[in-house]
């Protein structure tokens, strides 16, 4: 088994170290992660400058690019032997509902999926970051399950884990994505040079947290496992848009 690990918080992030430790013994582990925090980088690839691959004292490789860059470089040119699975995380904070559009953690897994590999994005649903070991154990169980019974088609799983002790988890649920309310307004500030600057506002709260959603599962102390797809076609609107275009 060859496991490729990446993330969006950077190669130095505690969640990545916890993930590598949790998966130790399941096979050969290769880590390729961003040089710095690239949260919310989404699926962007770097095309306007060269990318450099370096190795840290930890043995982890890092790239001066995005999470998607890291997985693309590893799979499309760096590795002599292709990985059997890509695991991205453990993210510091949730990636539920609308978050998945922006998430660099999900983007790293998505790049693996687009390259034909089963891929898992795993996130700890709290910025307190107290129980990375819980998310690590969940990641290990999922990879072990894949080793025992691999899914026979490319699959992209978005996994969110409550930030609680492993013994307090209430099980795992297969869920759909919920929805958030729109983000908070941008925060306007004045820099020391008297320039107006802006910070992106906080994400909105849950707007759709009905039973069956990722938000609902996490609220009840369950691990949320959501299979994702890349087809963004709004199938239900095809007819309406055809009529509008006539």
pLDDT tens-place string over residues 11-40: 999 999 999 999 999 999 999 999 998 988
pLDDT in tens, 51-81: 999 999 999 999 999 999 999 999 998 888 9
- How would residue 204 be classed by pLDDT, with cut points 50, 70 and 90? low
Q: Tell me, what's the pLDDT at 123?
A: 97
Q: Tell me, what's the pLDDT at 98?
A: 87
ω into residue 85 within 30 of 0, thus cis? no
State both tokens at 155.
């699959």
- Arithmetic mean of pLDDT, 176-201: 83
Report d(CA 178, CA 209) in Å as an integer: 6
Report d(CA 220, CA 155) in Å as an integer: 26
Average pLDDT, the chain: 92
Choose the weakest-confidence range: 105-119, 126-140, 207-221.
207-221
- Among 57, 45, 51, CA closest to 17: 57
Taking 80 as the threshold, does the pLDDT of residue 207 lie above it? Answer: no
Taking 90 as the threshold, does the pLDDT of residue 200 lie above it? Answer: no
């Amino acid at each position: 088994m060859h496991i490729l690990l990446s993330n969006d918080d950077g190669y130095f992030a505690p969640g990545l170290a916890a993930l590598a430790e949790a998966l130790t013994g399941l096979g050969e582990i290769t880590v390729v992660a961003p040089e710095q925090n690239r949260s919310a980088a989404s699926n962007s690839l770097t095309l306007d400058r060269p990318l450099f691959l370096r190795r840290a004292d930890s043995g982890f490789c890092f790239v001066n690019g995005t999470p998607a860059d890291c997985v693309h470089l590893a799979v499309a040119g760096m590795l002599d032997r292709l990985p059997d699975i890509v695991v991205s995380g453990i993210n510091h904070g949730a990636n539920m509902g609308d978050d998945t559009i922006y998430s660099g953690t999900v983007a790293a897994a998505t790049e693996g999926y687009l390259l034909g590999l089963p891929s898992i994005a795993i996130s700890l649903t709290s910025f307190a970051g107290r129980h990375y070991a819980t998310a690590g154990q969940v990641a290990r169980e999922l990879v072990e399950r894949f080793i025992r019974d691999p899914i026979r088609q490319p699959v992209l799983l978005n996994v969110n884990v409550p930030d609680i002790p492993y013994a307090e988890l209430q099980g795992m649920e297969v869920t759909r994505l919920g929805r958030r309310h729109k983000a908070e307004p941008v925060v306007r500030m004045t820099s020391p040079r008297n320039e107006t600057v802006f910070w992106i506002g906080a994400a909105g709260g849950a707007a759709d947290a009905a039973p069956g959603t990722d938000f609902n599962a996490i609220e009840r102390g369950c691990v949320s496992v959501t299979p994702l797809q890349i087809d963004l076609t709004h199938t239900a609107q095809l007819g309406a848009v055809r009529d509008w275009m006539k």
